[in-house]
Amino acid sequence: MERERESELVRLCIEAACQSGESVQKWRRQRRSLERLPAHLADSLLRHLIRRRLIFPSLLEVFKHNAEAIELRGENSVDAEWMAYLGAFRYLRSLNVADCRRVTSSALWALTGMTCLKELDLSRCVKVTDAGMKHLLSISTLEKLWLSETGLTADGIALLSSLQNLSVLDLGGLPVTDLVLRSLQVLTKLEYLDLWGSQVSNRGAAVLKMFPRLSFLNLAWTGVTKLPNISSLECLNLSFIQQVGAETDLVLSLTALQNLNHLERLNLEQTQVSDATLFPLSTFKELIHLSLRNASLTDVSLHQLSSLSKLTNLSIRDAVLTNSGLGSFKPPRSLKLLDLHGGWLLTEDAILQFCKMHPRIEVWHELSVICPSDQIGSNGPSPSRTSLRASLVKQKQDPMPMSHSFLDQRLKYSREELLELQYSSLSLARPDDSSTQDAMGLR
């Protein structure tokens, strides 16, 4: 209780200090007292000043002896003058200037030789180029570096091989080639590597096995379809991979991934996966989060995932899922979230019935979002969750039993072709046939 009162008192003091520009001018004269301010209080005061637009370059000097973490993401006023003051911060360990478009390569000169800086975020600072990287090479303490969507070329990225204490490296959207990736294999402490949108190929990806501690890998928007065995990997993003060959490449890749005994998160959205290619996933026993998005997936894929006993979050979007398939799905006992967005054949009644059978699972879909809390104390779905359209559809449709050998002929068509067929058939209905129009949800 005493600690809570102290925290409340500190909060009130900081609020008063940041009330206006006039209040700032009063306390900034007490320089000696400010220099003795504990680091966590200095960081908190600085955050409030930034949030209220009361900070300016010369005021930064007041915090240079105690501030340890500075968050300036998206501040358009941050430029070379700001960086000059920040370079004098003796104990600064974390600096975030992501989206600060006025930060240039020459502005980074002020950071040269900093002895405590461990984390630096320059994401989307488009004026930071290869020349800026040369200023960072003297900061041997750097452990986490974010450089996505900056102005770096392959030559500038290769310079990073000198920062051998890096454990986090974000190179998203940069022209990382196979040759450049090979030059970075000396960074054996890497645990997090983001290469989305890079030029890395299957041949270059073979180098990834040289990172023994790698737990996070993002290869979205690349041409990589085959990976080496990276036993330490826990999170893998292969979404939007630019496949040039047959889907067999992906089958082989997923089969090879079966050796990733620690894989917990896998993103395969917008890849050329099908029911057959996903078969190896049933052996990924440690998976907690799985993201899929493809119009080729059917009820078969959904049912295959029942064996993933630790799965808590499952996203299977734009799939050709049916009401009967969802109804017969036996989700893992651990499942907490099921994202069915884009499942256009599903009806609201079918979703509500699934939620009634599995009240602990939160379900997302365009027709409704059902949270476990919505169903507490209710024997059935909330009236607000059911629509007149869904009720009429249920009255008019007589479910057709399907055998296990049934082949859904809709799979021969694309989603656009199926919609065209649907609307062409609706045009044959008589305009005065109100019951038909109600059943199809046209009224």
Q: CA distances (Å), 198 to each of 181, 221, 268, 424, in order? A: 10, 7, 17, 44
Look at residue 253 in the predicted model and tell me its pLDDT: 64
Mean pLDDT to the nearest integer, 280-286: 86
Q: By percentage, how much of the chain surpasses pLDDT 90?
A: 57
Express each pLDDT in 158-181 by its tens digit: 999 999 999 999 999 999 999 999
With respect to residue 152, please indicate whether it lies within any of the assigned structural domains: yes
Residues 427 and 359 placed together within one structural domain of the fold: no
Nearest to 102 by CA among 118, 80, 117: 80
SS (H, E, C) 382-436: CHHHCCHHHHHHHHHCCCCCCCCCCCCHHHHCCHHHHHHHHHHHHCCCCCCCHHH
* CA 275 and chain centroid, separation: 25
Residues 282 and 426 placed together within one structural domain of the fold: no
Look at residue 245 in the predicted model and tell me its pLDDT: 47
Residues 194 and 224 placed together within one structural domain of the fold: yes
Residues 288 and 374 placed together within one structural domain of the fold: yes
Q: Give the number of residues written for the chain.
A: 443
DSSP class of residue 127 equals: B
Which residues, 6+ apart, have CB-to-CB distance to 7 below 8 Å? none
The CA distance from 147 to 124, in Å, is 7
The CA distance from 214 to 335, in Å, is 27
The dihedrals phi and psi of 245, each to the nearest 5 degrees, come to -105, -165
Express each pLDDT in 20-62 by its tens digit: 777 777 666 666 666 667 888 888 888 888 888 888 888 888 8
With respect to residue 296, please indicate whether it lies within any of the assigned structural domains: yes
Residues 206 and 243 placed together within one structural domain of the fold: yes
Look at residue 433 in the predicted model and tell me its pLDDT: 42
Specify the amino acid at residue 253: S
Q: Based on the structure, what is the number of domains in the chain?
A: 2
Specify the amino acid at residue 72: L
Whether residue 217 contacts residue 231, with contact meaning beta carbons closer than 8 Å, is answered with no
| DSSP conformation letters of 190-252 | --EEE-TT----HHHHGGGGG-TT--EEE-TTS--------TT--EEE-TT----S-THHHHH
Look at residue 257 in the predicted model and tell me its pLDDT: 76
Whether residue 123 contacts residue 150, with contact meaning beta carbons closer than 8 Å, is answered with yes
Is the entire prediction scored with pTM above 0.85? no
Residues 240 and 201 placed together within one structural domain of the fold: yes
Here the CATH number for the domain that contains residue 76 is 3.80.10.10
With respect to residue 254, please indicate whether it lies within any of the assigned structural domains: yes
Residues 137 and 274 placed together within one structural domain of the fold: yes
Does the pLDDT of residue 397 top 50, yes or no?
Answer: no
Residues 352 and 427 placed together within one structural domain of the fold: no
Look at residue 419 in the predicted model and tell me its pLDDT: 55
Look at residue 28 in the predicted model and tell me its pLDDT: 66
Between 219 and 254, the more confident residue is 219
Between 403 and 73, the more confident residue is 73
Question: Does an H or E element contain 292, and which?
Answer: strand 289-293
Which of 143-157, 184-198, 280-294 shows the lowest per-residue confidence on average (mean pLDDT)? Answer: 280-294
**Segments of 67-214 assigned E as strands:** 69-71, 94-96, 119-121, 144-146, 168-170, 192-194
The CA distance from 87 to 78, in Å, is 13
With respect to residue 62, please indicate whether it lies within any of the assigned structural domains: no
Nearest to 94 by CA among 76, 71, 110, 126: 71
Look at residue 441 in the predicted model and tell me its pLDDT: 37
Q: CA distances (Å), 260 to each of 129, 191, 283, in order? A: 36, 15, 10
With respect to residue 237, please indicate whether it lies within any of the assigned structural domains: yes
Residues 293 and 428 placed together within one structural domain of the fold: no
With respect to residue 150, please indicate whether it lies within any of the assigned structural domains: yes
Express each pLDDT in 62-104 by its tens digit: 888 889 999 999 999 999 999 999 999 999 999 999 999 999 9
The mean pLDDT value of the chain amounts to 82
Look at residue 47 in the predicted model and tell me its pLDDT: 86
With respect to residue 433, please indicate whether it lies within any of the assigned structural domains: yes
Look at residue 411 in the predicted model and tell me its pLDDT: 52
The CA distance from 281 to 255, in Å, is 8
Does the pLDDT of residue 263 top 90, yes or no?
Answer: yes
Range of the domain at 426: 413-439
Which of 4-8, 67-71, 107-111, 237-241 shows the lowest per-residue confidence on average (mean pLDDT)? Answer: 4-8
Residues 418 and 386 placed together within one structural domain of the fold: no
Which tokens sit at 93?
Answer: 């360990």
Q: By percentage, how much of the chain surpasses pLDDT 70?
A: 77
The CA distance from 317 to 307, in Å, is 19
Nearest to 233 by CA among 259, 254, 199, 251: 259
Does the pLDDT of residue 394 top 70, yes or no?
Answer: no
Does the pLDDT of residue 191 top 80, yes or no?
Answer: yes
Does the pLDDT of residue 209 top 50, yes or no?
Answer: yes
Mean pLDDT to the nearest integer, 204-218: 96
Angle between helices 348-357 and 388-396 (to 10 degrees): 90
Residues 293 and 422 placed together within one structural domain of the fold: no
Does the pLDDT of residue 424 top 80, yes or no?
Answer: no
Does the pLDDT of residue 236 top 70, yes or no?
Answer: yes
Mean pLDDT to the nearest integer, 319-330: 96
Residues 224 and 307 placed together within one structural domain of the fold: yes
Question: Does an H or E element contain 43, and which?
Answer: helix 39-51
Q: CA distances (Å), 404 to each of 76, 296, 297, 401, 408, in order? A: 60, 18, 17, 10, 11
Which tokens sit at 244?
Answer: 């040039």
Which of 5-14, 171-180, 294-303, 364-373 shows the lowest per-residue confidence on average (mean pLDDT)? Answer: 5-14
With respect to residue 43, please indicate whether it lies within any of the assigned structural domains: no
Does the pLDDT of residue 384 top 70, yes or no?
Answer: no
